[in-house]
Chain A
C-alpha cells in the first residue's frame, strides 16, 4: 500500500471522526462501514473508542486480522442491512465505501433498494442523537442525489459537508447524517478562507502567546477556550460567539 494512499485514508478518518461530534473524553462504540484492512479503525482506536467493522471483501478482512486490529470484524454486505439490535452504536463512520452500493448488478437488488435497506437499518442500529459520517466519492450529481434521497427516506436529517470545494485534488464529500435530532450541519473546510481574506481587514493585537511544550495552548487560557470553541463549531455544535468577554477573569466567587 502506497504511503500516500494510507495518509489520505488516515486524514479522512480523522475528519470523519471529528464530524461525528462525539462528547469529549468519553469512549464510544462506533460502527465502521467498509472497514477494509482496518486503517480507519486504527484511527478510531487511537482516539480511545471501540469499534465493530463490516466489509464485503474477505481479502481485506484477512489483512485486518493479520494486522491484529482492535475492532471486531464482520464479513457482510451492508446492502443487505446492518445486523444489529436497535440503538446500539454511538456513531458510524465510513471511508470510501458507500458509493459501491450504487453499482447495479443484475443478480442483486436495484441500487435504490440496497441503499434504502442500508440506510434504514443503519438508522435503527444507531442511538438517538448520534451521527453517521460517510465519506464518499460520488461519480456524478445524480448518484449524490440518489444516495442522499435514500438516506432522507430512511429518516436521517443532515446533508453533505464538502471540504475544499474549489480544489479538484483536495475536494472531499462527507455525508453527515443525524439520528433523531435536527443538528446544525458542520462547515466544510476551506470554504471560508478565500472570502474572509478579501473582504475583511484583519486587525490583531497579537502579543506573544504562551504555549506549552507540546505546542498546545495552556489549558483554560483564553487561547485554549477559543480553540476549543472553534473545534466545537467545526463539529457543528452550537457555540456562543467570541467576544471581548470570552475567557475573561471572573470575580473570585466562581
Chain B
C-alpha cells in the first residue's frame, strides 16, 4: 500500500460519523521502497487533494523522518525539489505487512503482500 492510497482511504465501516473513518492508523511491520518514474504534473495536481497533516503523520509512523514541510510550499508547482520529495513519500514508500485501524470504530484491516484487506464481515 502506497502512502498516496492511504491518504485517500477512509474506513467504510457502517454507522461512522462523517469523517470518522479518516485517517486510518498505520501499524507497519514491513516497509519497502520501490522506485517509480517521477511525473511533476501529476504530483503537482495531487497536492490540493491531500490531507497534509495526515500524510506527514503517516510518513513519521513508518519510522521514516518526514522530509515534508509543515505545509505545502507556496508556488509548489514550480518547486521541483519539493515535488520530488513529495513523489517519493506518496508513491515510492510501500507498506507490505501490517494493518490499518479505523479511528472511530477501532476495526483493523490487515495488510498482506502490500494489499490491505478491506473486507467487512457479512453483517456490516
In-complex Cβ contact of B120 among A50, A65, A77, A84 (8 A): A77
In-complex Cβ contact of B22 among A27, A61, A81, A85 (8 A): A85
Chain B residues positioned under 8 Å from A85 (CB to CB): 8-10, 22, 51
Are B9 and A108 in contact, with the CB atoms below 8 A?
Answer: no
Check if A26 is an interface residue, CB within 8 A of chain B. Answer: yes
Are A83 and B11 in contact, with the CB atoms below 8 A?
Answer: yes
Chain A residues positioned under 8 Å from B64 (CB to CB): none
In-complex Cβ contact of A83 among B1, B9, B113, B114 (8 A): B9
Check if B71 is an interface residue, CB within 8 A of chain A. Answer: no
Q: Which of A48, A75, A77, A108 counts the most B-chain CB atoms under 10 A from its CB?
A: A75
The answer to whether A83 and B39 touch (CB under 8 A), given A29-B46, A72-B4, A121-B12, is: no
CA distance A80 to B123 in the complex (A): 11
**In the complex, how many residues of chain B place their beta carbon closer than 8 angstroms to a beta carbon of chain A?**
30
The answer to whether A65 and B115 touch (CB under 8 A), given A50-B42, A83-B10, A85-B10, is: yes
CA distance A74 to B8 in the complex (A): 12
Are A74 and B118 in contact, with the CB atoms below 8 A?
Answer: yes
Check if A253 is an interface residue, CB within 8 A of chain B. Answer: no
Chain B residues positioned under 8 Å from A48 (CB to CB): 39
Are B12 and A75 in contact, with the CB atoms below 8 A?
Answer: no
State the Cβ distance, B36 to closest chain A Cβ, in Å: 8
The answer to whether A75 and B119 touch (CB under 8 A), given A62-B113, A85-B22, is: yes
Check if A52 is an interface residue, CB within 8 A of chain B. Answer: yes
A: residues with CB less than 8 A from B are 26-27, 29, 48, 50, 52, 56, 61-62, 65, 70, 72-77, 80-85, 87-88, 107-108, 121
